Structure 1
Amino acid sequence: MRGLDRGFLIFRKVLTKLLYFDHCASTPPYDEVVDTFAEVMKAHYANPSSIHRAGTEADKLIARSRALLAEQFGVKPEEWLFTSGGTESNNLAIKGAARQFKSRGNHLITTRIEHASVNDAFGQLEQEGFRVTYLPVNSTGHIDLDQLSSSITDETILVSIMHVNNEVGSIQPIAEIGKLLSAYPRILFHVDAVQSIGKLPVKPREWGIDLLSGSAHKLRGPKGIGYLYVREGLQLQPLQSGGSQERGMRAGTQNVPGIVASAKALRMAMQAEEQTRSRMYALRDKLIQHAAMHIPELKLNGSEDAALMAPHIVHFSYPGMKPEVIVHMLEQHGAIVSTKSACSSKDNKPSRVLLAMGANSEHAAGGIRISFGDEHSEQDIDKLAEMLRRTVAQLKPLERSRF
């Protein structure tokens, strides 16, 4: 057995013994999705843009996958583009819309707690001369609709607001925002739904959304595949050149096995969404209640109110303690959690999201994110709660040490 294969098997044995609570970063794929990916990769390796039969058959698989996405969301198949992931979907939506419609105006609106792929995209557009309003949030991570309304000007061309925050789980009032923006037909509305698809209802057409981003590996699909809803009749300036794929907005040979497998994962997740959501809210409540009763050192970020928060995310802070210390000690006890967004977890800065919510630097620097999925049970939460209790008890003598 080669070294790489041996290392893979050893890690797999270790991972199966750990409780994985980092679903916001990535999820374990469904077995059926893995099988579908492998099957399509073996049988349909032709380029879907080729005009021969093998290429045509590959292209048909993409068309069926597009139709499946459309069916799940109640929109048209041609309104979905396939990308390499949520980051590309967000960048294409934001930069593509701003650059395409800059003749209308140069003002953009977003929030202070967006994912890095959104926040940094707006930072780049500012360097190009666009003016950006970053809406503040309250202590639970929610915007004020009146502040959004008062921020709109005659130059506003795009509003981008995430549905579920990837760090603390706050749910923004997307339907109400869409209703507000319906009075401004020249303003485009983009929603980062990476953390909400498959967990909460998502209704692009009913909510007046023009652009909506998703990612397959956040709902037990393969990595390297994202999707972007682009309302019919809307054209975006491409980020890259080289081909006419995806309505001319996303050049490059399509990842056929990834696309087919991602569509399967989406269908499975959305068909079970209501049942899964109910189960995960119960698990969330159980963990929060246990921490409140037995681990007072952990401070909940966001809100206990389920109506305001996503079902699969619980975020605590342990002020005065390095979050990576908590993460590594929990792993020794048998549980995998994270600090903040996987894209930002390796820096030592306080959480930008928690600072925006009004936390002080010590509180914002000591956060851990627990995110779970449909494979978890009440017994798993009980085990995690006990691991958290033991971890905090071990760390408490060190809590006053400085970073």
Structure 2
Amino acid sequence: MIYFDNSATTKVHPEVLNTFVTVNEKFWANPASIHTFGHQTNELLQSAREQIANILKTSSDKVYFTSGGTESNNLAIFGLALKYKHRGKHVLISEIEHPSIIEAAKKLMDQGFEVEWIPVDTEGIILLDSVKKLLRDDTVLVSVMHVNNETGAIQPIEDLSKIVREQSRALLHIDAVQSFGKIRVDFQQLEVDAITISSHKIHGLKGSGILALKNFIEIEPILYGGGQESGIRSGTTSVPLAVSTAKAMRLAMEDLDGKFVNLQSLSDDLVDYLQSFPNVKIVSSAKKAPHIISFSVRKIKGEVLINALQQQGIIVSTSSACSSKQTKTSHVLKAMHISDDYIKGVLRVSFSTTNTQQELEQFKKVFKRVMNVIKGD
């Protein structure tokens, strides 16, 4: 099997899995317990928190462990909007966000918030001029995905941050689930207020993620109970998951530039190859992350191509794993105004650092065979 669906999930790194098992075996006490064993476990938890804070360039008390990207995104949308609602109740969300952002934002409307949607161009890049027009004195929160999970489009976060700072008092949250470990992500680089990261996208374990805030930013909890995670995320913290997440993040940051070059090489090679087919359209923007390539075959359903490739041992996906089992057309592709001839046939190839040129060459051979059998117009 050749696995090219790494934006859906990644294989757990052996060192991360080993960390998880070791912590479970040796530090299984409740970190909130006051006995020595609990104290030792809590020290390990705080060490993981500090490691992540150092990577993201914030304070350790601004790193909150969650169950993953969806919870972190929900916490960011609800927690920040409610904490700063005295500034206003106007929220801006891009049209191409993950459902965990879009659905949370819609729920804010039930609490009296007004949500407006930032449009994108045909390459899936937010329109900064539209942001300038949409921002208001009562805008409290702006949330934009750093790298789109379906197309890989990199959003101009630095430029967006400057506009938001100059024209409003709004906070800026980014979903960095698809960007961390592929491109540079930290508070100094991007000048945002909140960052979401999911462990299983970077060879960590499922069920673990973080929401990190910039220094001095506050947030309201959305879960209530024993007051863990500084009162922001109640529930006994899984120390094994937290420590293994920190391990996955450290490994992801090792030789980041070298990994980028290798992923970009695979991506460029694949794009060049796909462009040799007259009925194939590259959906991904030229301004994209190196690990995601979305393309479509004219008038051929994506599911047909996926099944044909899978029979030959190649694993890819339609545009998003979160919606791939649904029949409705991707909201991202609609926002990009992809033509009817191509919108049903979009495939996403997503690499990880474990993929090789040899695997890509095999993909090319298989894809050519499949295209000879399944003829697009």
Partner residue, 2:94: 111
> What is the match of residue 318 of structure 1?
297
Structure 1 window deviating more from structure 2 (99-108 vs 170-179): it is 99-108
1:229-275, Cα deviation, whole Å (9 max, x unpaired): 11222222211110211121111111111111111111011112111
Whether the 8 Å CA contact 2:137–2:169 is kept in 1: the answer is no
Distance 1:298 1:61 in 2: 51
Residue 309 of structure 1 corresponds to 288
Separation of aligned partners in 2, 1:323 and 1:127: 36
Q: Classify 1:31/1:122 alpha carbon distance in 2 versus 1 (closer, same or farther; 3 Å).
A: same
Distance 1:207 1:201 in 2: 9
1:231 maps onto 2:214 in alignment: yes
1:206 deviates by 4.0
Check conservation: 2:135, 2:168, Cα contact below 8 A.
no
Asked if structure 1 preserves the Cα contact closer than 8 Å seen for 2:309 and 2:367, the reply is: yes
Per the alignment, residue 360 of structure 2 pairs with: 381
Equivalent residue runs for 1:47-58 within 5 Å: 47-58=30-41
CA contact (8 A) 2:141 2:172 kept: yes
1:145 aligns with 2:134: no
Aligned to 1:359: 338
Counterparts of 2:24 and 2:368 in 1: how far apart (Å)?
45
In structure 2, C-alpha distance between the alignment counterparts of 1:290 and 1:208, rounded to whole Å? 37
Q: Distance in 1 between matches of 2:114 and 2:123?
A: 27
What amino acid does structure 1 have at the position aligned with 2:208? I
User: 2:53 is matched with which residue: 70, 75, 82?
Assistant: 70
What amino acid maps onto 2:282 in structure 1?
L
- CA RMSD, 1 decimal: 1.4
2:222 aligned partner, one-letter code: L
Residue 189 of structure 1 corresponds to 172
Say if 2:65 and 2:210, in contact at 8 Å, map to a contact too: yes
Distance 1:251 1:367 in 2: 40
Measure the CA separation in 2 of the matches of 1:177 and 1:331: 40
Q: Which residue of structure 1 lines up, in the alignment, with residue 281 of structure 2?
A: 299
In the superposition, the TM-score normalised over structure 2's length comes to 0.97
Does structure 2 conserve the Cα–Cα contact (< 8 Å) formed by 1:301 and 1:316?
yes
Aligned match of 1:21: 4
Shift of the alpha carbon at 1:74? 2.1
Q: CA deviation at 1:173?
A: 0.6
Deviation at 1:151? 0.7
Instruction: State the 1:205 CA deviation.
Output: 3.1
3-state SS of the aligned residue for 2:190? coil
Task: Tell me by how many angstroms 1:362 deviates.
Answer: 4.2
Distance 1:299 1:127 in 2: 40
Task: Kindly provide the amino acid, as one letter, of the partner of residue 265 in structure 1.
Answer: A
The count of residues paired between Structure 1 and Structure 2 equals: 377
**1:265 pairs with 245, 248, 258, which one?**
248
Q: Secondary structure at the match of 1:161?
A: strand
- Structure 1: unaligned runs, 5 residues or longer: 1-17
Cα deviation for residue 88 of structure 1 reads 0.5
Offset of residue 126 of structure 1: 2.0
Contact 2:132/2:167 (CA < 8 Å) preserved in 1? no
CA displacement at 1:76 relative to structure 2: 1.7
1:135-188 Cα shifts (integer Å, max 9, x gaps): 111111101212111111111000001110000000001111112222256211
